[in-house]
Amino acid sequence: MDYLTEIYEKMGSSLDPSESYFCSDSRFMALEEALLAIPKGNFCDLGCGRGALIRRLGKYHRVFGTDFDPAVVQFCRSSGLAVERIDLNEARELPFGDIKFDVIVISEVCEHLLAPRNAFRLAKNALRPNGTLIVTVPNALPLFARLRSFFGRSVGWLHYPSPETEFTGHIRFYTLESMSRLLGEEGFSVEHTRGVSFRMNGRFWGRLCFWLPRLFGNRSEYAPARLDMRLGRMMPGLSPGLFFVCKVATTPSECI
C-alpha cells in the first residue's frame, strides 16, 4: 500500500493538463464532446486529479470529483470545486450523500487500481437509472506494442514491474475486449467504444496527423487531434488509448 500511495500522490499532483489539451489531445477532446452531448445534470469525475475536467465542464454540468491524494483534494477545494478524498479500491459509497449522477467518468484510473471492480460498483450505485459511465484506459496492445511483440522485442508498456510501468504507475492492463467484458460483468452495457491517442503509436503517426491536414489546407490547431480521433474510430483495438461509453444494464443479456 505504500507503493500505491506513492503512485496515487504522484499521479494526482503531476497530471494537471492545461486548457490546450482540450484542443490538442484526442482523449480530452473525446471526453469533452461526450460530456457536452449529455443533457445538463450531475457529473462526477472519479480520480479527478487537480480538477481540469470538472473545472472545464463546470459551466455546463453540476460537477463533483474524488481523488486519493489529500494535496490535490485541497487544491481543488481551494478553487471552489466539490471534491472529496476516497480510495476507489476500498470505498463502499461515494461521499456525496443522496446525490445521484447523470454521468460519471473514470478516466486513466483503472490501470492504477488493485480493485477496479470496486470503482465500477461505486459508479453503478451512484448513477441514475439512465445514467452514463465513461471509462478511458491505456490499451495494453496498441499497434506499437504488437509490432514489438511480433519481432520478439521487449515491451515494457505491457510488463509490471518495468521502468515504463514504474514511471507511469500502471499495475493493471486492458484490451478492448477485456475491458468490455469486465464492464459487462459489473452490470454495464457498453454502448460505444473508440480508440484515442493514436499518434502515440510512433513518430510516423504523429507526423501524419500533423502534416496530412495541412496538405489539404487545414491549419486549425484542432486538425491533428481530429485526425487522431478518426484513426481511433477506424482502428480502436490498435489505439494506445481506449474509450468506453456505458449504461447500467437493465437485464443480464445486455451485458457484454
Q: Thinking of the domain 2-250, which architecture would CATH place it in?
A: 3-Layer(aba) Sandwich (3.40)
pLDDT of residue 77: 95
| CA contacts within 13 A on the Cβ side of 221 | 8
Please confirm whether the linkage preceding 224 is cis (ω < 30° from 0): no
Give the DSSP H or E segment for 190. strand 188-196
Sequence spans of domains, the chain: 2-250
pLDDT of residue 1: 58
**DSSP code for 193:** E
Helices (H), 65-137: 70-78, 116-126
Residues 6+ apart with CB under 8 A from 46: 65, 66, 88, 94, 104, 105, 106, 109, 119, 122, 123
pLDDT tens for each residue of the chain, 256 residues long: 577 777 777 776 666 677 788 888 999 999 999 999 999 999 999 999 999 999 999 999 999 999 999 989 999 999 999 999 999 999 999 999 999 999 999 999 999 999 999 999 999 999 999 999 999 999 999 999 999 998 888 888 888 888 888 888 899 999 999 999 999 999 999 999 999 999 999 999 999 999 999 999 999 989 999 999 999 999 999 999 999 999 998 765 555 4
pLDDT of residue 145: 93
Task: Report how far residue 234's alpha carbon sits from residue 42's, in angstroms, rounded to the nearest whole number.
Answer: 32
Task: Report how far residue 55's alpha carbon sits from residue 83's, in angstroms, rounded to the nearest whole number.
Answer: 11
pLDDT of residue 90: 94
Residue 38 and residue 103 in contact, taking contact as beta carbons nearer than 8 Å: yes
pLDDT of residue 251: 66
